Amino acid sequence: MRRLENILVTGGAGFIGGNFIRLLLENTPDFSGRIINLDALTYAGNIASLSDVQAKFGGERYCFEQGDIRDVGLVADIFEKYGIDTVVHFAAESHVDRSIVKPDAFVQTNILGTFTLLEAARRYWAGRDGVLFHHVSTDEVYGSLGETGAFTETTPYAPRSPYSASKASSDHMVMAFYHTYGLPVTLSNCSNNYGPYQFPEKLIPLMILNLKERKPLPVYGDGRNVRDWIHVDDHNRAVWRILQCSKIGESYNIGGENEWENIRLIQTLIEIVAKAVGADADDLNRLVAFVKDRPGHDRRYAMNCTKIKRELNWERVIDFEEGLVKTVDWYLGNIEWVDGVRSGAYRCWIEKNYKER
Ligand code: NAD
Ligand code: TDX
């Protein structure tokens, strides 16, 4: 039996990790344990995203530790102090464009950080049972698809960006710890997430906010690249299923089985935003601006999720277009949060590195 009593969530001040913490504490009746959120609060981490969780569960079922997953001493102390029995490892540098401009941080956090956590778990868990290290990864490790087909768990890895190469490396290290040391691990590879609290450098929130502010909508290349979109809560419910009933040493694909060309998605967002703010969709459409393509831009991702559906009885439940409408409403209604995360480090970085776009 897995304990699931003292769960270390890394990167819990970020988009997916924060939504995971809220889902578990607010909306998962069969979870009664405690969550320890370890996050360095980089430009992408915003602890204000969890202020309601802190107010409701702080000290008892929710504890925040600010720190770096590469900090060997700190990570060991956290295992000891809280009696960690489960790790859900979200912390990462997560944005492909940044990995192209400045890959160093991706090697540091995604590779070295994951290794540090694995070593700490291996030491602290020696002789303990009921423990699990779950590593959260991406469909991008599989590379780029042609017109047809979908990634399965046995598709060979072929990462093509510094981001996906760093995630692939961490996936391999996780599996190496399972095979070599018998560390109880699981791994999930998920497609593109959307939903509340996503940092507005990613496609969907960026487009919503640019539409609101009547700024150009930068479409990379011909706009025909395809992504498979899933709501963050559907992703996180799959992670919870994995914690509860997966088989050790297995990896699981998670996706929406919901493919959209970028340009079609942007046009759908234009219609939703136009309706929400009472603007003319044709006027907003004029904001579309085709720009220089992302170097090495993967053409198409698609996920085959048969394994997790069949073995863990998981299903995506959130309809994409309904989820998009709610996400647009969330961004339009949470401008204070947006202003908070867009100030400071992010703004400086954009000004320094993104002049050409
Ligand atoms: P995010 O960028 O929103 O959040 C990352 C969090 O990690 C931030 O809170 C940041 O402060 C923290 N962090 C970064 N470096 C750290 C370090 N060295 N030590 C401690 N904390 C650190 O990312 P996200 O979109 O929530 O992604 C979470 C995970 O899910 C990542 O591992 C990512 O690769 C994976 N993933 C993301 C998507 C997606 O569509 N966003 C899809 C599949 C998989
Ligand atoms: O301004 C933009 N214009 C544009 O055309 C941006 C930011 C993106 N795009 C395109 C690039 C991609 O084809 O939209 C698509 C989605 O881009 P991102 O939001 O940057 O996501 P992607 O590169 O697909 O990676 C995401 O999904 C997999 C997450 O950022 C990763 O962390 C995750 O692993």
Catalytic pick from 68, 140, 228, 250? 140
Q: How far is CA 150 from the centre of its chain?
A: 20
pLDDT at 32 over 70: yes
In 10 A of CB 52, how many CB atoms?
A: 11
Residues enclosing ligand 1, CB less than 6 A? Answer: 10-11, 13-17, 39-42, 44-45, 68-70, 90-94, 109, 113, 136, 138, 167, 190, 192-193, 199
Which H helix or E strand runs over 39?
A: strand 34-39
**pLDDT band, residue 1 (cuts 50/70/90):** confident
Q: Which domain holds residue 78?
A: 6-194+231-257+297-319+344-353
* Structural domain contains residue 45: yes
| Residue among 104, 111, 87 nearest 12 (CA) | 87
How far is Cα 191 from Cα 315, in angstroms, rounded to an integer? 14
pLDDT confidence band for 87 (50 / 70 / 90): very high
Q: Is residue 33 part of a domain?
A: yes
Taking the alpha carbons at both ends of the chain, their separation in whole angstroms is 52
User: Does a structural domain hold residue 212?
Assistant: no
Q: Let me know: does 153 contact 252? Beta carbons within 8 Å.
A: yes
pLDDT reading at 168 higher than 70: yes
Span 106-160, pLDDT tens digits: 999 999 999 999 999 999 999 999 999 999 999 999 999 999 999 999 999 999 9
Nearest ligand to the CA of 113 is 1
Structural domain includes residue 207: no
Beta strands in 149-198 (DSSP E): 185-190, 192-194
Q: Is residue 154 assigned to a domain?
A: yes
Other Cβ atoms within 10 Å of 117 Cβ, number: 28
Ligand nearest to the CA of 74: 1
Residues contacting ligand 2 via CB (< 6 Å): 94-96, 138, 140, 192, 202-203, 206, 218-220, 225, 227, 262, 294
Q: Is residue 290 part of a domain?
A: no
Ligand 1 centroid to residue 14 C-alpha, Å:
6
- Going from the Cα of 19 to the center of ligand 1, the distance in angstroms, rounded, reads 12
- Looking at the CA of 298, name the nearest ligand: 2
CATH number at residue 21: 3.40.50.720
Q: Is the pLDDT of residue 357 over 60?
A: no
For ligand 2, atom 28, which residue shows the shortest CA distance? 192
- From 62, 124, 163, 197, the catalytic residue: 163
Render 188-236 in DSSP notation, one character per residue: EEE-EEESTT--TTSHHHHHHHHHHTT--EEEETTS--EEEEEEHHHHH
Which ligand 2 atom minimizes the distance to the CA of 298?
13
Q: Are 186 and 256 in contact, with CB atoms under 8 Å apart?
A: no
Span from the CA of 284 to the centroid of ligand 1 (angstroms): 31
Q: pLDDT confidence of 346, banded at 50, 70, 90?
A: low
Q: Which ligand is nearest to the CA of 259?
A: 2
- Please tell me the residue having the least CA distance from ligand 1 atom 17: 68
Instruction: Note the pLDDT of residue 343.
Output: 86
pLDDT score for 354: 62
Q: Is residue 144 part of a domain?
A: yes
pLDDT tens profile 11-23: 999 999 999 999 9
138 CA from centroid of ligand 1 (Å): 11
- Please give the distance, rounded to the nearest whole angstrom, from the Cα atom of residue 208 to the centre of ligand 1: 21
Mean of the per-residue pLDDT values for the chain? 96
Question: What pTM was estimated for this model as a whole?
Answer: 0.97
Say whether 140 is catalytic: yes
Q: How many folded domains does the chain comprise?
A: 1
Q: Does residue 163 lie in a domain region?
A: yes
- Which tens digits make up the pLDDT trace of 306-315? 999 999 999 9
Model pLDDT for residues 271-291, shown as the tens digit of each residue = 999 999 999 999 999 999 999
